[in-house]
């Protein structure tokens, strides 16, 4: 234990020095280098007069480097003659924090970082502890000053210190005469207050901060506490009780503090002193240690309704609310991204936008165009993140305890009433921090009937006599659960049988409700076509699930495997509605082998496409369907390093090569009605879709290029160099054609778009009467999917919703026995008849 007489000796010896020499004013009287964050320095006023600590600073020299000073400024307080002042790590133990007069995260030395007291006015070192050079001179110990000699800069004087055990800081904060030095109680009495709204101002930054400066100086301010935060942020929010009545200035403010003031509660009126600053574009006041006074308690602040419009970006409209206590009721905010993971803050949260969801820029506009770039830039400013201070547990929406997959769901497009919290800013986003006492009921979520779940399947604008669908089944693997093994030794689906049973039941329920005659599948396990294959298991499950009156499904067999990936495409159909014409054809896709501009080796593959011709039994009409799953945007391809700013994601040129390969194959080998469908991993206006539909090379400023170092069946494509895709293949994007550009089947990072497409050639287009996406997945939370890896104790359901991460695409076709849509065949003129005779003759003779 440290004894008081040690400091008595110190006081006596220093007094004799002071009587005969110039006073050092301040010296380092104790140094603690304890476990973890238990770090502290005690400063002693040796003079006979009060000293203002703001005239001095503590300097830490990291790793003993004299050229790496780290300045730690003292609070603007006075230290009485003979008094001591303790500055400790802001993360020290509670016992050490109770002693500290000031805390700082910069007090983080590790026994090899000397410290000095420096007078700011002339840069003179008054006292020094440690030694320069990377040596552990004071590791895992406490040092108590016993010698009366002032230590010069850079000098190590071991005789001046009494070495104590690690974490022994008894006596710290006690003056040499044995008195405990209590800091003067902080008071705002007589201080000039700067209102919160004057600190916030009407601009993006505080008007108190001069351009080019990081600080707006030290100010006093006060307000009612609206929230106390210790996790996502550290400190508390205050709001002026009356405000200034100016809608352009916020009445609220964030007060940064390492520790919550003792006894502080929401509703307290508090006065604080601190430095005004912009912390990563968030206006705040950093409260000086202990510089607060609680003025009153149990005050009430009513939440402010967000008054928003479509005239400007949401971020611009939220700036005047920064730090304020608000509500979403009647704000026209809607859910744009469901409750899921945020890679900015690394926690689950939700995103809202104004009036409508946010759409991927390249789904609406051609990549690189002025419109596309503008939408991409603005999308990040159309958002309000809904957060809580405490990090949510897996599968839990803190402000909505009734969250469940049956009747407590949240869908994209929902508006939410009674969601209250403070507006904060971090990770380049505005965030509404919902209060701990916010508990929403199911009735607080509202949506149009058209956008709600239904107990029945998709209803399209028109009915045909042949329904076709496309569905990504989210890695449906049955090999770990008694199914046939795949040849690739990979399982991308359910990890345990209970998850698999939920997964296959959800998919079967969805497909049963779709009620299509033909369904193209993506992401089904590539484990063949035996009775124990994944596609056979799915067909069995669907036939068991759907009503007994429904026609049973069969699956198209395509040999041992479809390509060389663990997942593949597939086709199932109702043999009572359509029959197979010939065998299925696997259309080989390009590969990419070579090195990129940085010398990295690449060997990339594209999943094989599957072509099957069907005959409609009722009308005898024939339809060729090609199911595709192109390379994902999350992969890495050779051209990516040269196109880092391409908004279309990785492997775009590789997908273009696949589109060209597919288009060429179909043009050369398939006649009649053709439907190209599947997960093309390209949004509506991205290059692969444009190549297959309406790309006009002569009118496009930006040329669409194929992949370099690409090959097909071992032969280099275009000599292995990238070339322009000089033509398009004339297909029509059916969902866009029938539903408009904002039709969507997928959501990623809060942006809607379509990766799943149905493309019809000209002859088929005349027979398609309706097409739509069925929003059973993109509008739902992915926490309801089969996997329990990140969902904790959240209950699961076998309903169709969240059966995948992609929506099914539904196509209604009307086939008749005589002309399209019942019309009689068109009468040809004699000239047309003659022309067609020569055309057929030419085709017969020369192919």
Residues 811-824 pLDDT 10s: 999 999 754 444 43
Indicate the range of 111-115, 270-274, 354-358, 432-436 predicted with least confidence.
Answer: 111-115
Helix locations, 716-797, DSSP H = 734-739, 762-765
- How much of the chain, in percent, has pLDDT values that exceed 90? 76
Q: Which two tokens stand for residue 461?
A: 């604008």
E strands in 321-417: 325-327, 333-342, 347-354, 358-359, 384-388, 415-416
pLDDT value of position 579? 98
pLDDT value of position 411? 98
Look-up: residue for tokens 């800081």? 169
β pairing state of 518-525 and 567-573? antiparallel
**DSSP secondary structure code for residue 737 in this structure:** H
Look-up: residue for tokens 């002193």? 273
Helix locations, 579-733, DSSP H = 652-669, 687-692
Cα separation, 519 vs 810, in Å, equals 9
Integer angstrom CA distances of residue 221 from 106, 321, 342, 561: 26, 18, 34, 71
β pairing state of 51-52 and 56-61? unpaired
Residue 594's nearest CA partner among 720, 426, 495, 713 is 720
Please check the confidence at residue 16 and state whether its pLDDT lies above 70: no
pLDDT, averaged across the chain: 91
β pairing state of 161-164 and 141-145? antiparallel
Q: Give the list of residues 6+ apart from residue 490 with CB closer than 8 angstroms, or none.
A: 566
More confidently predicted of 513 and 181: 513
Instruction: Tell me the mean pLDDT in the region 330-344.
Output: 95
Cα separation, 83 vs 101, in Å, equals 12
Helix (H, G, I), strand (E, B) or coil at 204: coil
* Cβ proximity of 523 and 632 under 8 Å: no
* Cβ proximity of 508 and 547 under 8 Å: no
Categorize the per-residue pLDDT at 847 as very low, low, confident or very high, splitting at 50, 70 and 90.
very low
**Widest CA span in the chain:** 127
Indicate the range of 105-119, 142-156, 190-204 predicted with least confidence.
Answer: 142-156
Categorize the per-residue pLDDT at 449 as very low, low, confident or very high, splitting at 50, 70 and 90.
confident
* Cβ proximity of 511 and 471 under 8 Å: yes
Please name the helix (run of DSSP H) or strand (run of DSSP E) that holds residue 14, with its range, or none. helix 4-20
337 phi, psi to nearest 5 deg: -135, 125
How many residues does this entry show for the chain? 847
Please check the confidence at residue 147 and state whether its pLDDT lies above 90: no
Q: Which two tokens stand for residue 544?
A: 């068991």
Cα separation, 472 vs 610, in Å, equals 14
148 phi, psi to nearest 5 deg: -90, 10
Query: What strand order describes the sheet that includes 751-753?
Result: 358-359, 751-753, 746-748
Integer angstrom CA distances of residue 442 from 355, 384, 416, 456: 21, 21, 10, 22
Instruction: Tell me the mean pLDDT in the region 357-362.
Output: 98
Cα separation, 344 vs 341, in Å, equals 9
More confidently predicted of 146 and 675: 675
pLDDT value of position 184? 66
pLDDT digits (tens, 9 = 90+) for 719-764: 999 999 989 999 999 999 999 999 999 999 999 999 999 999 999 9
Cα separation, 604 vs 592, in Å, equals 5
Helix locations, 530-571, DSSP H = 534-545
């Amino acid at each position: 234990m440290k004894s008081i007489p040690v400091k008595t000796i110190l006081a006596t010896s220093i007094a004799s020095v002071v009587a005969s020499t110039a006073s050092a004013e301040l010296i380092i009287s104790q140094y603690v280098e304890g476990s973890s964050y238990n770090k502290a320095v005690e400063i002693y006023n040796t003079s006979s007069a009060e000293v203002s600590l703001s005239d001095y600073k503590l300097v830490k020299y990291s790793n003993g480097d004299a050229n790496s000073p780290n300045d730690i400024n003292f609070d603007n307080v006075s230290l009485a003659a003979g008094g001591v002042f303790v500055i400790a790590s802001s993360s020290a133990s509670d016992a050490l924090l109770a002693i500290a007069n000031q805390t700082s995260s910069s007090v983080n030395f590790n026994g090899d970082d000397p410290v000095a007291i420096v007078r700011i006015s002339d840069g003179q070192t008054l006292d020094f502890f440690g030694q320069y050079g990377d040596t552990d001179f004071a590791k895992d110990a406490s040092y108590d000053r016993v010698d009366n000699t002032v230590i010069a800069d850079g000098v190590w004087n071991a005789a001046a210190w009494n070495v104590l055990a690690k974490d022994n800081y008894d006596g710290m904060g006690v003056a040499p005469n044995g008195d405990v030095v209590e800091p003067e109680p902080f008071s705002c009495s007589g201080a000039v207050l700067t209102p919160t709204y004057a600190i916030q101002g009407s601009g993006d930054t505080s008007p108190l901060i001069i351009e080019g400066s990081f600080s707006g100086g030290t100010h006093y301010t006060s307000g009612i506490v609206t929230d106390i935060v210790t996790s996502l942020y550290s400190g508390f929010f205050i709001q002026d009780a009356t405000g200034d009545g100016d809608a352009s200035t916020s009445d609220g403010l964030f007060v940064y503090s390492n520790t919550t003031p003792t006894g502080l509660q929401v509703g307290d009126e508090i006065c604080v002193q601190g430095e005004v600053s912009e912390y990563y574009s968030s206006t705040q006041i950093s409260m000086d240690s202990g510089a607060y006074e609680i003025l009153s308690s149990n005050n009430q602040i009513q939440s402010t309704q967000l008054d928003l419009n479509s005239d400007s970006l949401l971020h611009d409209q939220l700036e005047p609310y920064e730090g304020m206590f608000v509500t979403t009721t009647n704000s026209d905010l809607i859910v744009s991204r469901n409750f899921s993971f945020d890679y900015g803050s690394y926690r689950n949260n939700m995103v809202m936008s104004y009036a409508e969801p946010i759409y991927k820029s390249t789904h609406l506009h051609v990549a690189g165009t002025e419109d596309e770039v503008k939408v991409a830039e603005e999308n990040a400013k159309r958002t309000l993140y809904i957060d809580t201070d405490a990090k949510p547990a897996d599968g839990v929406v803190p402000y909505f305890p009734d969250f469940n997959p049956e009747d407590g769901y949240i869908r994209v497009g929902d508006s939410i009433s009674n969601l209250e919290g403070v507006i904060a800013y971090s990770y380049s986003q505005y965030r509404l921090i919902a209060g701990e006492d916010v508990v929403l009921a199911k009735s607080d979520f509202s949506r149009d009937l058209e956008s709600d779940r239904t107990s029945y399947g998709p209803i399209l604008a028109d009915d045909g006599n042949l329904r076709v669908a496309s569905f990504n089944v989210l890695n449906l693997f049955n090999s770990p659960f008694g199914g046939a093994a795949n040849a690739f030794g990979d399982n991308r689906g359910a990890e345990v049988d209970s998850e698999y049973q939920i997964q296959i039941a959800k998919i079967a329920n969805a497909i049963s409700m779709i009620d299509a005659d033909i369904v193209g599948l993506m992401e089904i396990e590539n484990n063949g076509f035996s009775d124990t294959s994944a596609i056979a298991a799915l067909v069995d499950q669907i036939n068991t699930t759907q009503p007994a009156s429904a026609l049973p499904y069969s699956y198209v067999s395509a040999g041992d495997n479809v390509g060389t990936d663990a997942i593949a495409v597939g086709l199932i159909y109702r043999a009572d509605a359509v029959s197979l014409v010939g065998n299925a054809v696997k259309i080989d896709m390009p590969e990419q082998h070579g090195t990129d501009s940085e010398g990295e080796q690449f060997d990339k593959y594209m999943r094989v496409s599957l072509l099957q011709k069907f005959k409609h039994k009722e009308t005898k009409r024939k339809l060729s369907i090609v199911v595709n799953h192109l390379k994902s945007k999350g992969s890495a391809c050779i051209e990516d390093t040269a196109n880092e700013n391409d908004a279309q994601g990785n492997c775009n040129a590789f997908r273009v090569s696949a589109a060209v390969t597919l288009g060429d194959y179909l043009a050369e080998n398939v006649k009649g009605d053709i439907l190209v469908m599947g997960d093309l991993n390209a949004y509506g206006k991205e290059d692969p879709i444009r190549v297959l539909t309406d790309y006009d090379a002569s009118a496009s400023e930006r040329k669409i290029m194929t992949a370099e170092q690409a090959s097909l069946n071992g032969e280099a494509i275009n000599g292995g160099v990238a070339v322009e895709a000089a033509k398009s293949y004339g297909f029509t994007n059916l969902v866009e054609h029938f539903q408009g550009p904002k039709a969507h089947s997928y959501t990623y990072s809060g942006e809607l778009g379509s990766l799943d497409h149905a493309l019809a050639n000209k002859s088929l287009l005349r027979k398609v009467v309706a097409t739509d996406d069925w929003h059973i997945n993109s509008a739902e939370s992915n926490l309801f999917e089969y996997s329990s890896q990140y969902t904790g104790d959240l209950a699961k359901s076998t309903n169709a919703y969240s059966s995948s991460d992609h929506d099914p695409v539904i196509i209604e076709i009307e086939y008749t026995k005589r002309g399209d849509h019942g019309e009689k065949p068109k009468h040809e003129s004699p000239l047309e008849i003659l022309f067609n005779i020569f055309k057929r003759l030419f085709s017969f003779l020369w192919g």
